[in-house]
Homo-oligomer: A and B are copies of this chain.
Amino acid sequence: MYEGVVQDLIDELGRLPGVGPKSAQRIAFHLLQADPTDVRRLADVLIEVKAKVRFCATCFNVSEAEQCRICADPRRDPTTLCVVEEYKDVVAIERTREFRGRYHVLGGAISPIDGIGPDQLRIRELVARLSDDQITEIILATDPNLEGEATATYLTRQLRPLGLRVTRLASGLPVGGDLEYADEVTLGRAFVGRQNAP
């Protein structure tokens, strides 16, 4: 319907997650009228990100070098390993400044519906890292949903026999929330996980 290359742009934009046909059209018209240097900058960063960004050879975190900044940092505690699903989880945990150990990025969670089993995740690589005798605790920080819980359960069964301490992030009430708005499962978990008042 649109002039050739404009339609191509709308099609390409429409392939991005969360960008429907209407949004793709809106973005395309914006770009048509935008300063060419701005559009060029976006194109350049797209090319650059694919050229520069790779995955850390140790933990599979996003990295611009052979090893990511966290694996390369000698001040990070080498005895605790936090297992997460995705790169964005690393960023979320780093933001808390509560964890000073290292990470292992699985690249997803077990989800039979999506055809993702343990073999599609970087579990073999995780087990290989454990032959390094420094690691004493594995913190399973997969998402608190069905797939994340299944992945954590699977990993616990695999890792506990190796004599490691395997922990899971606490479930409970979100800080700043209202108790009455918590769902039953969360509230139930908060009871089960109750601790002595400080």
Contacts and interface: CB of A to CB of B under 8 A. Distances in A.
Interface of A: 1-6, 8-9, 12-13, 15-19, 23, 25-32, 36, 38-50, 52-53, 62-64, 68-69, 86-88, 91, 94-95
A64 B3 contact: yes
Contacts of A87: 29, 32
B5 A45 contact: yes
Counting chain B CB atoms within 10 Å of each CB, the highest count among A30, A42, A69 belongs to A42
A103 B111 CA distance: 53
Contact of A32 (B13, B44, B53): B53
B62 A49 contact: no
B46 A9 contact: yes
B53 A6 contact: yes
Given A16-B27, A18-B23, A86-B29, A62 B94 contact: no
